[in-house]
Amino acid sequence: MRWILLAAVCGAASLSWANGPSLDVCLPEDALPRASRATEQGFDIDVARLLAKELDRPLRVFWLPTPNLTDIESSDTDYRPLLRGQCNLMMSVPGAPDIADFGGALTLSQPYYGASWEVFPADSGFNWKQPYDGKVAVRAHTVGHRAVHELGFDWTMQPDNLSIVDAVERGAASAGLVWGPSLGSLDVERKTNTEPPQALRWNMHLAYRADDEAMSSAINTALSAPGVQDAIASLLKRHGIPRRGPFETVHTTEALNAL
């Protein structure tokens, strides 16, 4: 049975399967397809439900203000609630550089999915390894924008994803490049037979406090449990997020500079 609690600092929606220590997860309140406070739906909240059930713990979701992104593929997440103990888990963390400023106070789980920049439409002739005669619509001042520029593709800068879709639909561009998880909120089909370069792909992890050894053991055991990865793959599909990775090699500054 589902029940709702209100936290003193941020809203907490709770789903109860068991007694005992809860799994307290911080999520952005308006960041579909990852999570939505209004609907209590999204990929990451469903993964949190999956992990809580696997761990036989009640789940509490602490809703945080959605970060004002400065770069799409960086989480720009406020980790202070995790550091203060308001929650014991944060999700969709794009690798160690995202938590590098905390002096080792936070650590990461094994990756639970991969994410990359994706090309659309599905029948686009665009290929990362070949010249392309068309123009690529991409969000301004992002890693994706830099990649198409460095690799010599013709591009048109757009302020947001809807503008990218519009540019392709009205013929101002013949291909669009968007951050893969964003496809869950866009009515477009990605091109599946092209592999993004290393500089445009990330593994996504769960973050928790480094001194929380019990959490580290429990989460990594749950992620390795039979059927959990298949369930995560099904959730990616349900929420329209491309199934990628986890990748063997991921974005680094060196890989970006080498384009």
pLDDT the model gives residue 77:
80
Residues 134 and 75 in one domain: no
pLDDT the model gives residue 245:
83
Residues 25 and 95 in one domain: yes
User: Residue 10: is its pLDDT beyond 50?
Assistant: no
pLDDT tens, position by position, 58-82: 999 999 987 655 454 555 688 999 9
pLDDT the model gives residue 128:
95
Average pLDDT over residues 4-29: 57
pLDDT the model gives residue 71:
52
The CA-based dihedral angle spanning residues 29, 32, 35, 41, taken in that order and rounded to the nearest 10 degrees: 120
Residues 105 and 228 in one domain: yes
Residues 92 and 50 in one domain: yes
Burial grade of 4 (CB within 10 A; 0-12, 13-18, 19 or more)? exposed
pLDDT the model gives residue 13:
42
pLDDT tens, position by position, 126-157: 999 999 999 999 998 899 999 999 999 999 99
pLDDT the model gives residue 68:
59
Residues 63 and 79 in one domain: yes
Number of domains in the chain: 2
Which structural domain range is residue 179 located in?
A: 116-198
Non-local CB neighbours of 111 within 8 Å, separated by 6+ positions: 203, 204, 205, 245, 246
Residues 61 and 15 in one domain: yes
Residues 31 and 41 in one domain: yes
Residues 145 and 35 in one domain: no
Residues 181 and 223 in one domain: no
In a domain, 258, yes or no: no
pLDDT range class, residue 9, cuts 50, 70, 90 = very low
Residues 189 and 222 in one domain: no
Most confident of 2-6, 13-17, 106-110: 106-110
Q: Is there a contact between 221 and 95 (Cβ–Cβ < 8 Å)? A: no
